[in-house]
Amino acid sequence: MRSIHIDLDSIEWMPGSAYKGPNALYQGQEVFYRKVLSDRREGGGGLAVLSKICPPPGKMVKTVAVARSEEHVFNLRGGRVNKAGTPVEASGNSYTLNPTGQPHSAMIATENIALVIYSGETDDVRSVEIVDIEPPLE
């Protein structure tokens, strides 16, 4: 196999509705985007994508999934938050490995861009919700 070289600026962000269908929209607005960097699953390899999540103002995206292959997630901008929308990790400064079979979740409240590398198939996404950010307890 030859090396793959890509100018990231030459690839447009693909809207989530193009690969997830109309249920990926929130009130007619795109929330999910991706840039496919390489897809070698047909030959037994993996998939590498840049993933962008853009929650609506005052909302967060809550995703629950099970890893169908090893999933390496490098947050480049943004990151996970708690139910009140408070960051639980430094912006653009985290790495997560979800091993095959691992149930996992993420809550995203601000624009998030991540490099996601799957060793095989993508996650089995169990649910995606757009929910209100909970007010802090007083």
The H or E element spanning position 20 is helix 16-20
How high is the pLDDT of residue 66? Answer: 97
Confidence band, pLDDT 50/70/90 cuts, at residue 136: low
Query: In this structure, what token pair is assigned to residue 96?
Result: 């997560």
Secondary element (H or E) of residue 5: none
Q: What is the pLDDT of residue 137?
A: 55
How many other C-beta atoms lie within 10 A of the C-beta of residue 11?
13
Domain 9-132: state its class.
Answer: mainly beta
pLDDT at 113: 95
Q: What is the pLDDT of residues 77-129, one digit of tens each?
A: 988 888 777 888 777 788 999 999 999 999 999 999 999 999 999 999 999 99
In angstroms, the CA 100 to CA 80 distance is: 21
pLDDT of residue 86: 81
pLDDT class of 6 with cuts at 50, 70, 90 = confident
pLDDT in tens, 26-73: 999 999 999 999 999 999 999 999 999 999 998 999 999 999 999 999
Nearest one of 64, 54, 29, 27 to 110, comparing CA atoms: 54
Confidence of residue 138 (pLDDT cuts 50, 70, 90): low
The pTM for the full model equals: 0.88
